Structure 1
Amino acid sequence: FLLARRSLPADAPTERASRFDCAGALLLALTLSAYALAMTLGRGRFGPQNLAWLLAAAVGVSAFLRVEARGAAPLVRIDMLRDPALGGPLIAAALVATVMMGTLVVGPFHLSRALGLDAMGAGLAMSMGPAISMLAGVPAGRLADRFGADRVSLAGLAAMLAGAALLAALPASLGIAGYLAPLAALTVGYALFQAANNTLVMAGQPADRRGLVSGLLNLARNLGLVTGAAALG
């Protein structure tokens, strides 16, 4: 916060920025809360309570879209979501995050029960994913700039598909190598996809929408993470 306050240039105040969509923000918060409860209550079993929260989330989405369509200064402009150049990448980000969260949920059980690792060994094995993601981020961005975001995005999805297939198909007799090799392919693919997908979404946005679009990307990823954890659980 201090670095941003000191280093970033201040935006010129605008009429739209002077107002805040309180109704839209409240509806969005309630809708997301209802969806999170629908995905997490029941300890892995989907029952009437989960269905009720899911219906509440659906009603919340409908009310949010109606409020945003009529608002003078909406939190999210509905016409933006109709744009395939934005809507497609947002859906892809959510689906990819769902897959990644699935691997994170199943990983500890596979490492401890199938491979017999203790808690520390399982944690060290799983830490390879974040380490690869950290190291692959900058090269992935450069590849997206050099070869085009579309190509790199497809390459990332192909690597993720190969990693997920190997993770499911390789026998436990291969030991830790049979887990780490597919995880490496999956994580590299995720890094490639993230860099390219973010470039696709952000490159065509005007300056006054980039903060909003960045927030929508994070929202899509978080929805995918919640859905992946709940579905695999």
Structure 2
Amino acid sequence: MAGGKIRAVLFDKDGTLFDFDATWGAWAKLQIEALANDPQQAGRLAAAIGFDLERVEFEPHSPVIAGTVREAAELLLPHLPGRSLDDLVLELEQAAHDVPLVEPVPLAALLSDLRGRGLQLGICTNDAESSARAHAAQAGITDLFDRIIGYDSGHGAKPTPRPLLAFADSLGLDPAEVVMVGDSQHDLHAARAAGMIAIGVLSGPAERADLAPLADAVLDHIGGLPDWLARRAG
């Protein structure tokens, strides 16, 4: 399983660094109920973004799992007469800053371990950069990352490879030296298009069968990275 030298790991955020449904399920239900005037409207809003209000979780193929905040707002807007898109995006971004985060494994310890192996680290998310920075700060891990890139950082959103290539270029890395870790097909498509190593994780709504055809490996969660790196080096 040995391959070329790995010099960096680039992480998706939601569903990868943070467990997706445990972090975002209750938050999404709260936001839907706050936006809606009655249960019928709440049901329409939930259906628009592929969210199950009773189970308090996103459907596996919800369009917002790997989408941007603006894309989610665009889906909600037809069911919110009188609201503007820009105001709704701003409201959702601000509300997301303080979401209670659930780590699939202790992040500070894992990321410190990876940095101790000489790896550079980054975040590439389809969330806003401000939200990504707020969440990293809340988890106490901001200083462990060399770059944090959001959909609004000037490079576009996954599945385009542009934000991934921007990460590699900013650090002087060959994309083939970078591992992209994500929980969605968007992440893995972007990794493939960028020429990076693609690792899927199951801490988001996607199942192994969704990710395996696009991934070099599929792990239960990012806690499996050190062992995967050791096997690959061996």
TM over 0.5: no
Task: Please indicate the TM-score interval, normalised by the length of the shorter structure.
Answer: under 0.3
Whichever of the two has the greater Rg, that structure is 1
TM-score w.r.t. length of structure 1: 0.23
TM-score w.r.t. length of structure 2: 0.23
Higher strand content, 1 or 2? 2
